[in-house]
C-alpha cells in the first residue's frame, strides 16, 4: 500500500439530528466538533440527518403507498379507454 495517500481512519461519533441518539464507529470523516463519549474519551462528532434511529424503514413508520387508489384516480381522470398515449 502506498504511504501518505489514504485519509486517516479512526473512531468518530455520529449523532442523529432528529432523535439525538449517537453511536461510535470508525470512519475517514472528520469534524471540528468533538464530544466526550461514554468511555471518557473525546472523539470527532458528525451530525447527520437520517440514521437507523430515525429512518422510516427501520423504525416501522414507513408509509404504505396506495397503488389501488392511484389506478382508480388515473381511470377517473383518463377513463378506461386510455391506451399508452393514444385514446382507444
The pLDDT tens digits for 26-84 are 999 999 999 999 999 999 999 988 887 777 666 666 655 566 677 777 778 887 766 66
**Under 8 Å between Cβ of 24 and 11:** yes
Phi and psi, residue 10, nearest 5°: -155, 180
User: How far is Cα 31 from Cα 39, in angstroms, rounded to an integer?
Assistant: 20
Residue 82 grid coordinates: 386510455
Domain ranges within the chain, ordered by starting residue: 10-79
Q: What is the pTM of this model?
A: 0.60
**Under 8 Å between Cβ of 64 and 70:** no
Amino acid at each position: 500500500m502506498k504511504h501518505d495517500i489514504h485519509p486517516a481512519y479512526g473512531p468518530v461519533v455520529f449523532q442523529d439530528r432528529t432523535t439525538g441518539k449517537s453511536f461510535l464507529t470508525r470512519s475517514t470523516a472528520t469534524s471540528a466538533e468533538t464530544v466526550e463519549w461514554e468511555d471518557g474519551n473525546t472523539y470527532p462528532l458528525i451530525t447527520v440527518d437520517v440514521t437507523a434511529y430515525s429512518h422510516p424503514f427501520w423504525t416501522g413508520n414507513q408509509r404504505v403507498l396506495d397503488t389501488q387508489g392511484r389506478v382508480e384516480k388515473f381511470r377517473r381522470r383518463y377513463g378506461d379507454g386510455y391506451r399508452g398515449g393514444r385514446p382507444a
